[in-house]
A and B are shown apart, each in its own frame.
Chain A
Amino acid sequence: MSASPIATTRTAAGMPTGRLAVWWVIASEIVIFGGLLGSYIMFRLSHDAFGEHAAHTNMWIGAVNTLVLLTSSLFAVLGHKAADAGDGRKAAKFLYLTAAGGLLFASIKFGYEWPAEIHHGFTISSNTFWSFYYTAAGIHAAHVIGGVIIMLIIAPRAKRNLDLHRVELIGLYWHFVDVVWIFLFPLLYIAK
């Protein structure tokens, strides 16, 4: 059963169904991260000590990771532009670059940043700041990895000019993941 139903092709709402669905996914993810970060902010504003705990996060790594994600977002949207032009090879190339950015982000975080922090004794159960830190960054990182996996599924097909519309869709998701990090960075790293 490879054919999509006719239902998938209709566009009464003025947008292709795939893109509409991704926006609904983004909407539901906003409230997931919103609930978590809202809780973090409540704790942050009422615990004087949080500021001192947060001093131990590495702002430079955070900034590098922010740069990595911003750049990968650039690649994602360039991939969208290529896909719209029908250039599957170029779109796939950009998707692979975006995925590489995601993997770099994850390697920096899991391969260097977190081991260093754990080595210094800052584990997830050290205190509530670090609990929030690892939980929020961890859930975000899980979304990064999920996005990379999906990109690696879409890219080979895009290269053969198949399902090019999906390049934009995963890009949309990726930009959302980037926006979440845009807020995580100051919340966890800058405000001290």
Chain B
Amino acid sequence: MATAPVSHPDSHGHGHHQPGFVAKYLWSTDHKMIAMQYLFTGIAMGVLGGFFAYAFRMQLAFPGIAVPGFGIVGPNEYNRLITNHGAIMIFWVAMPVLIAAFGNYLIPLMIGCDDMVFPKINRLSYQIFLLSALVLIASFFVPGGAFGGAWTMYPPLSAKPEYNLTPLGSTLFVVAVALEFVAFLMGGINFVTTTMNSRAPGMRMYDIPIVVWMIVVASILFMASVGPLIAGAIMLLFDQNIGTAFFNPDKGGDPILWQHLFWFFGHPEVYVVLLPAVGIVAEIITVMSRKKLFAYRTVLYTTFGTGVLSFMVWAHHQFIAGIDPRMANIFTITTLLISIPIAEMMFVYIATLYGGSITLNTPMLWALSFIATFLIGGVTGIFLGASGADIYLHDTYFVLAHFHYTFFPIAIIGTFAGLTFWFPKMFGRMMNDTLGKIHFWGTIIPFNCIFIPLFVLGAAGENRRVYDFTNQPGLARPELRHLDQFATVALLIMLSFQLVFFYNLITSLLRGPKAEKNPWKSNTLEWTADSPPPHGNWPVLPTVYRGPYEYSTPGRDRDYWPQNEPK
């Protein structure tokens, strides 16, 4: 039961005096400002991670040649680049942008309240997150350099400096990841508590927009799965620095324990980042096709089911690590099963689009491409989920292409979809749609050109995470070298088109046409606030009368029916 909406109390009287720069931009507790902090930090880290990809792909395509803007990529540099590219993209791009930025921005606005329930803890979570990013970046400048033992940090490589050659870097890497976990635990508690308790009067469980549900479920999955890895990270830090042997088989430890601790979190983690992207797509396709979401409750229950099932599949990452083959059987079955609810959600989206009045603007293009590319990612996951096929495919470029066909839609397409869709609300201006479409095509086509060749390369047997194959010629496929070069050239093209996005972003921020409150004619509550919303979001908090997807309701003159309109 919620309190009645009240006129904004005068205790927010600071609106009468303008906060200084520091108070407004650096020390704010306003969820929208914190969201922006996460967003821009995530984008900056994305540029860094993309730069790393550029450097190591250039080495793969043109071995031994100095990479413009980087220099020679030697074997240690290569390992560092791939390690940190992976860690950055997952922990410092996908998570902050999809969960923290969109979650912080959208949740209070979409459920009709004035902020998160714990604004100061929210601010603290960003500060800890920023610290974690700085710790990771610091690892590049310490003696020995950054850690290069893969984002999965398997011991004994990650635990023994005599193996990884980066005593300080490997410690800082683990510390950075641990800090990031703490930041997201704090943030997650805010999201879940706010959504559970602070909804607008009249907003029942089934009136909550899907993206809010998705971010909440993602936060819960994160909270429930990260614990063992936090324990594991502490154990690894001790192994690295004070001589314990939790994971050292020579002294009574077990490296496989690390793998289990890591992947028990690692697998739910991919659903943690997937669900917000899926939610963003749901919001866009309903608005842009003027149609109700095909099966709201089905999507919801499927999401819950997926969440639970996601805890039961983790060892498919360890099929060839020597795990008990009977466990491999079980994990094969559960892994193949989990493809069903996700596929079903995609079908629900397609059914939502069917018969709709479709507008193919930039956000919609991104949303549609998410469905198409994620389907490829999901289908190729089936090959990998079957332990028999995985024996051959594990550690090849096939795996890499599979997870880029899932992560790229999640982190990149999902981000651009959400950003282009909510830009008018966030910044009060419209982005240029033509430039948006140019950016879209210039990203999507090259993306496919990068990774389809890598499927071929991987299926042919070429191994990943190998700097060069002089010592393991059996793992290489030199006759397919042209595929490497094709992929790298495609990457260069894709990276150049990102300039179009940044140009669009900056010019729209500065000179874009002013946005009205509800340019997309959407039903959800955030579009009833000003663009951009003030501190406190509304002078009077809204009341809700119906679900979020009443589009094209028969018998009404308009094709949308905002949640807060009484009739």
Q: Is chain B in direct contact with chain A in the complex (CB below 8 A)?
A: yes
Measuring CB to CB, which residues of chain A are less than 8 angstroms from any residue of chain B? 1-15, 17, 20-21, 24-25, 27-36, 38-39, 42-43, 47, 124-125, 127-128, 131-132, 135, 139
Write out the residue numbers on chain A whose beta carbons fall within 8 Å of the beta carbon of B3: 6, 9-10
- The residues in B between 207 and 264 inclusive whose CB is less than 8 angstroms from any CB of A are 223-232, 234-235, 238, 242-246, 251-254, 257, 261, 264
25 intermolecular pairs with C-beta atoms under 8 Å apart: A3-B9, A5-B113, A5-B117, A6-B113, A6-B114, A7-B108, A7-B115, A7-B198, A8-B198, A10-B199, A13-B196, A15-B197, A24-B223, A28-B227, A31-B223, A31-B225, A35-B264, A36-B228, A38-B228, A39-B235, A39-B261, A124-B243, A131-B238, A132-B246, A135-B238
Write out the residue numbers on chain B whose beta carbons fall within 8 Å of the beta carbon of A4: 117, 119
Write out the residue numbers on chain A whose beta carbons fall within 8 Å of the beta carbon of B108: 7
- CB <8 Å contact, B245 and A32: no
- CB <8 Å contact, A32 and B235: no
Write out the residue numbers on chain B whose beta carbons fall within 8 Å of the beta carbon of A27: 223-224
Q: Does B116 contact A (CB under 8 A)?
A: yes
* Segment touching A, from B187-195, B318-326, B335-343: B187-195
Write out the residue numbers on chain A whose beta carbons fall within 8 Å of the beta carbon of B243: 124-125
- CB <8 Å contact, A125 and B245: yes
Q: Does B2 contact A (CB under 8 A)?
A: yes
Write out the residue numbers on chain B whose beta carbons fall within 8 Å of the beta carbon of A132: 246
Write out the residue numbers on chain B whose beta carbons fall within 8 Å of the beta carbon of A12: 1-2, 196-199, 203
Write out the residue numbers on chain B whose beta carbons fall within 8 Å of the beta carbon of A127: 245, 251-252
Give the docked Cα–Cα distance between A24 and B227 (Å): 13
Write out the residue numbers on chain A whose beta carbons fall within 8 Å of the beta carbon of B244: 124-125, 128, 131, 135
- CB <8 Å contact, B193 and A17: yes
- CB <8 Å contact, B197 and A128: no
Name the distance in Å between A44's Cβ and chain B's nearest Cβ. 12
Name the distance in Å between A106's Cβ and chain B's nearest Cβ. 19
Question: Would A139 and B234 be within 8 Å (CB), given that A10-B198, A10-B199 are in contact?
Answer: yes
The residue in B113, B116, B244, B541 that gathers the most chain A C-beta atoms within 10 A of its C-beta is B244
Q: Does B154 contact A (CB under 8 A)?
A: no
Write out the residue numbers on chain A whose beta carbons fall within 8 Å of the beta carbon of B257: 39, 42
- CB <8 Å contact, B197 and A13: yes
Give the docked Cα–Cα distance between A3 and B232 (Å): 39
Name the distance in Å between A12's Cβ and chain B's nearest Cβ. 5
- CB <8 Å contact, A34 and B228: yes
The residue in B188, B198, B238, B257 that gathers the most chain A C-beta atoms within 10 A of its C-beta is B198
Give which listed residue, A21, A42, A128, contacts B245 with CB less than 8 A.
Answer: A128
Write out the residue numbers on chain B whose beta carbons fall within 8 Å of the beta carbon of A135: 234-235, 238, 244
Write out the residue numbers on chain A whose beta carbons fall within 8 Å of the beta carbon of B12: 3
Q: Does B83 contact A (CB under 8 A)?
A: no
The residue in B11, B192, B197, B224 that gathers the most chain A C-beta atoms within 10 A of its C-beta is B197
Q: Does B118 contact A (CB under 8 A)?
A: yes
- CB <8 Å contact, B245 and A131: yes
Question: 10 additional contacts, CB 8 Å, given A24-B223, A135-B238?
Answer: A4-B117, A5-B115, A6-B541, A8-B198, A12-B2, A24-B193, A31-B223, A35-B231, A125-B242, A131-B246
Give the docked Cα–Cα distance between A22 and B399 (Å): 40
B contacts with A: majority SS: helix
Give B1-43 as 1s and 0s: 1 = Cβ < 8 Å from A's Cβ atoms. 1110010010110100000000000000100000000000000
Write out the residue numbers on chain A whose beta carbons fall within 8 Å of the beta carbon of B264: 35
Write out the residue numbers on chain A whose beta carbons fall within 8 Å of the beta carbon of B253: 128
Name the distance in Å between A177's Cβ and chain B's nearest Cβ. 15
- CB <8 Å contact, A35 and B119: no
- CB <8 Å contact, B11 and A3: yes
The chain A residue with its CB closest to the CB of B261 is: A35
Write out the residue numbers on chain A whose beta carbons fall within 8 Å of the beta carbon of B223: 24, 27-28, 31
Write out the residue numbers on chain B whose beta carbons fall within 8 Å of the beta carbon of A38: 228
Give B105-138 as 1s and 0s: 1 = Cβ < 8 Å from A's Cβ atoms. 0001000011111110000000000000000000
Question: Would A11 and B193 be within 8 Å (CB), given that A6-B114, A125-B242, A128-B245 are in contact?
Answer: no
Write out the residue numbers on chain B whose beta carbons fall within 8 Å of the beta carbon of A131: 235, 238, 244-246
Give the docked Cα–Cα distance between A30 and B223 (Å): 10
- CB <8 Å contact, B234 and A28: no
Q: Does B273 contact A (CB under 8 A)?
A: no
Give the docked Cα–Cα distance between A13 and B193 (Å): 9
The chain B residue with its CB closest to the CB of A25 is: B189
Give which listed residue, B6, B115, B189, B227, contacts A34 with CB less than 8 A.
Answer: B227
Question: Would A17 and B198 be within 8 Å (CB), given that A28-B185, A131-B238 are in contact?
Answer: yes
Give which listed residue, A2, A31, A36, contacts B226 with CB less than 8 A.
Answer: A31
The chain B residue with its CB closest to the CB of A5 is: B115
- CB <8 Å contact, B193 and A21: yes
- CB <8 Å contact, B230 and A17: no
- CB <8 Å contact, A8 and B185: no
Give which listed residue, A7, A29, A31, A42, contacts B117 with CB less than 8 A.
Answer: A7
Give the docked Cα–Cα distance between A11 and B325 (Å): 49
Write out the residue numbers on chain B whose beta carbons fall within 8 Å of the beta carbon of A17: 117-118, 193-194, 197-198
Write out the residue numbers on chain B whose beta carbons fall within 8 Å of the beta carbon of A24: 188-189, 192-193, 223
The chain A residue with its CB closest to the CB of B253 is: A128
Give the docked Cα–Cα distance between A35 and B242 (Å): 21
The chain A residue with its CB closest to the CB of B205 is: A12
The chain A residue with its CB closest to the CB of B194 is: A7
Write out the residue numbers on chain B whose beta carbons fall within 8 Å of the beta carbon of A8: 117-118, 198
Write out the residue numbers on chain B whose beta carbons fall within 8 Å of the beta carbon of A10: 2-3, 113, 197-199
Name the distance in Å between B124's Cβ and chain A's nearest Cβ. 13
- CB <8 Å contact, A5 and B234: no
Name the distance in Å between A170's Cβ and chain B's nearest Cβ. 15
- CB <8 Å contact, B251 and A128: yes
- CB <8 Å contact, B227 and A30: yes
Give the docked Cα–Cα distance between A15 and B3 (Å): 13
Write out the residue numbers on chain A whose beta carbons fall within 8 Å of the beta carbon of B198: 6-8, 10, 12, 17
Give the docked Cα–Cα distance between A127 and B250 (Å): 11
- The residues in B between 265 and 297 inclusive whose CB is less than 8 angstroms from any CB of A are none
The chain B residue with its CB closest to the CB of A138 is: B234
- CB <8 Å contact, B11 and A47: no
Give the docked Cα–Cα distance between A27 and B196 (Å): 16
Name the distance in Å between B475's Cβ and chain A's nearest Cβ. 33
